[in-house]
Amino acid sequence: MAESHKVRVGIIGATAYTSREAIRLLMGHPQAELAVLCSRRDPQPRIDEVFPEFSGRLDMRCEPIDPDALKDRIDVALLCLPNGIAMQHVPAMLGHGIRAIDFSADYRLKEPADYEQWYNKPHTDLENLRDAVYGLPELYRERLSTARLVANPGCYPTSAALAIVPLLRAGLVEPTDIIVDAASGISGAGAEPKPEHHFPERHETFEAYNVGKHRHMVEIERTLDPYLRERKTSVIFTPHLVPMERGILSTVYLKPVQPISIEHVMQVFVESYEGEPFVRVRERLPRTNEVARTNYCDLAARVVKSRIVVLSAIDNMVKGASGQAIQNLNVMFGIDEKAGLR
Residues with Cβ < 8 Å from 183, sequence gap 6 or more? Answer: 206, 239, 240, 241, 242, 248, 249
Active site residue ranges: 155
Return d(Cα 234, Cα 323) in angstroms, integer.
28
Q: Among residues 124, 287, 334, 336, which is the contact residue for a second copy, using CB under 8 A?
A: 287
Among 41, 130, 232, 302, binds a second copy (CB under 8 A): 302
Interacting residues with a second copy between 164 and 193 (CB under 8 A): 177, 179, 181, 183, 185-187, 191-193
Q: Does residue number 296 form part of the binding site for a second copy (CB under 8 A)?
A: yes
Which of the residues 88 through 117 are near a second copy (CB under 8 A)? none
Q: Distance (Å, rounded) from C-alpha 228 to C-alpha 337?
A: 29
CB of 165 to a second copy, least distance (A): 20
**Is 311 a binder of a second copy (CB under 8 A)?**
yes
In the complex, minimum distance from the CB of residue 110 to a second copy, in angstroms, rounded to a whole number: 21
Region near a second copy per CB under 8 A, out of 99-107, 131-139, 160-168, 286-294: 286-294
User: Per-residue contact track with a second copy, 201 to 240, x per CB under 8 A?
Assistant: xxxxxxxxx-xx---------------------x-x-x-x
C-alpha to C-alpha distance for 246 and 323, rounded to whole angstroms: 13
Which range of residues in 74-82, 83-91, 280-288, 320-328 is near a second copy by CB under 8 A? 280-288
Distance CA 184, CA 50 (A): 24
Q: Could you give the C-alpha distances from 147 to 113, 140, 312, in angstroms and in order?
A: 23, 10, 27
Please identify which residue in 195, 230, 259, 275 interacts with a second copy, judged by CB under 8 A.
Answer: 195
Between CA 137 and CA 277 the distance in angstroms is 10
Nearest approach in angstroms of CB 330 to a second copy is 16
Closest distance to a second copy from the beta carbon of 192 (Å): 8
Binding-site string for a second copy from residue 40 to residue 69, where x marks contact by CB under 8 A and - marks none = ------------xx-xxx------------
Residue 14: strand, helix, or coil:
coil
Kind of pairing, strands 248-254 and 279-281? unpaired
Which residue, 124 or 234, has its beta carbon nearer to a second copy?
A: 234
Determine how many CB atoms are found less than 10 A away from the CB of residue 310.
24
DSSP string for residues in 40-61 = S-SSPPBHHHHSGGGTTT---B
